[in-house]
Amino acid sequence: MIEKVGLFTSVDSDDRNALMGKALSAASWLRIFAIIGLVIGIIASIVLILATFGLGIIFAILIIAIQVAIFIYTGKLKDQIEENIIPSLTPPYVFIVLAILGVLSSFKDFSAASIPNILIQLFTVYLWYLVISCVKKADQTIEVQTVSDDDNLE
C-alpha 21/C-alpha 122 separation (Å) is 22
User: Hey, what amino acid is at 126?
Assistant: Y
**Residues with Cβ within 8 Å of residue 59, at least 6 apart in sequence:** 45, 48
C-alpha 2/C-alpha 41 separation (Å) is 32
pLDDT at site 31: 92
pLDDT at site 148: 53
pLDDT at site 127: 92
User: Hey, what amino acid is at 44?
Assistant: A
Full-prediction pTM beyond 0.85?
A: no
pLDDT digits (tens, 9 = 90+) for 73-127: 999 999 998 898 889 989 999 999 988 888 888 888 788 877 888 888 899 999 9
C-alpha 56/C-alpha 39 separation (Å) is 18
| Contact criterion met (CB below 8 Å) for 131 and 26 | yes
Other beta carbons within 10 angstroms of residue 73's beta carbon come to: 20
pLDDT digits (tens, 9 = 90+) for 9-63: 888 888 888 888 898 899 999 999 989 888 888 888 888 788 887 677 887 888 8
